[in-house]
């Protein structure tokens, strides 16, 4: 939120002017006032007008055109830097990188904005402008913090969904384990058929007399 307050300070200051303004007039004046040449002064001037157009569209709620002109402003800030000498002009290059970083931050391009901020810091340090370098570091830190906060929320939401699924699975397993189990019933033992006892056949009277006679003979002769 801090970086948005810093980057949108111009919008808040002139927001009333942008509410009913013709935003297209700002973009049209970029070429009308500064021409098609992209030497440093012309490019920086055109970039400023494109940034105004983006802010105007943002205030009016036209996000699509706002993003279009933030991107165009970033492009022109960098084009102007290319016309500067490779040595010297450190403050101008630093401002070019810093403004380009601001535009990319507004577009949500965190990695690109961070890279441009690093380049701006290096240019400021070349001329010992430590306060300006610290200010850019603060912008970079704010952008990174906002990005990490948004990413952290997304991860937490994903973890929450996974955790909910795992919790439901654990509860279901717990309830299943607590369900009374049916006792195993022993199999009935096979019933063996009882043996049929046969009744002894009664001896006939004739056989009984013979047996008695044999028994007497055995006893008489000592054969029993």
The separation between CA 33 and the C-alpha centre of its own chain, rounded to angstroms, equals 47
Residue 6 pLDDT greater than 50, yes or no: no
Question: If DSSP codes are grouped into helix, strand and coil, which group holds residue 4?
Answer: helix
56-70, 111-125, 156-170, range with the lowest pLDDT: 156-170
Write the pLDDT tens digit of every residue in 174-196. Answer: 555 655 555 556 666 666 666 66
Backbone angles phi, psi at 57, to 5 degrees: -65, -35
Token pair in block for residue 125 = 């340090």
Q: How many CA atoms lie within 13 A of 221 on its CB side?
A: 6
State mean pLDDT over 149-154.
60
Instruction: Enumerate residues 6+ apart whose C-beta is below 8 A from 137.
Output: 117, 121
State mean pLDDT over 2-30.
68
* pLDDT score at 196: 60
* pLDDT score at 2: 38
Question: If DSSP codes are grouped into helix, strand and coil, which group holds residue 164?
Answer: helix
* pLDDT score at 210: 73
Q: How far apart are CA 61 and CA 97, in angstroms?
A: 27
Residue environment code for 149-178, b if the CB has 16+ CB neighbours within 10 A, otherwise e? eeeeeeeeeeeeeeeeeeeeeeeeeeeeee
State mean pLDDT over 113-126.
96
Highest mean pLDDT: which range of 65-69, 78-82, 145-149, 154-158:
65-69
Residue 18 pLDDT greater than 80, yes or no: yes
Query: What is the residue-wise DSSP string for 90-142?
Result: HHHHHHHHHHHHHHHHHTT-HHHHHHHHHHHHHHHHHTT-HHHHHHHHHHHHH
What is the residue extent of each domain of the chain?
2-157
> Under a CB-based contact definition with an 8 Å cutoff, are residues 70 and 30 in contact?
no
Write the pLDDT tens digit of every residue in 60-110. Answer: 999 999 999 999 999 999 998 888 877 778 899 999 999 999 999 999 999
Q: What share of the chain is helix, strand, coil (3-state, %, to 5)?
A: 75, 0, 25
Note the CATH architecture for domain 2-157. Alpha Horseshoe (1.25)
């Amino acid at each position: 939120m801090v970086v948005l307050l810093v980057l949108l300070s111009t919008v808040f200051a002139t927001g009333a002017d942008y509410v009913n303004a013709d935003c297209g007039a700002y973009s049209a004046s970029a070429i009308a006032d500064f021409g098609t040449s992209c030497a440093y002064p012309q490019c920086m001037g055109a970039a400023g007008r494109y940034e105004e157009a983006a802010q105007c569209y943002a205030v009016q709620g036209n996000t699509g055109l706002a993003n279009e002109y933030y991107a165009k402003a970033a492009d022109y800030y960098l084009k102007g830097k290319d016309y500067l000498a490779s040595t010297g002009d450190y403050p101008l290059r630093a401002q070019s990188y810093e403004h380009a970083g601001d535009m990319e931050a507004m577009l949500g391009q965190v990695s690109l904005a961070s890279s441009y901020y690093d380049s701006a810091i290096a240019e400021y340090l070349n001329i010992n402008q430590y306060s300006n370098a610290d200010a850019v570091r603060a912008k970079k830190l704010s952008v990174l913090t906002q990005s990490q906060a948004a990413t952290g929320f997304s991860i937490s939401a994903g973890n929450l969904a996974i955790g909910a699924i795992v919790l439901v699975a654990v509860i279901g397993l717990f309830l299943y384990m607590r369900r009374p189990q049916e006792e195993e019933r022993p199999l009935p033992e096979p019933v063996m058929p009882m043996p049929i006892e046969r009744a002894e056949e009664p001896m006939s009277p004739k056989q009984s007399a013979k047996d008695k006679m044999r028994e007497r003979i055995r006893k008489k002769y000592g054969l029993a």
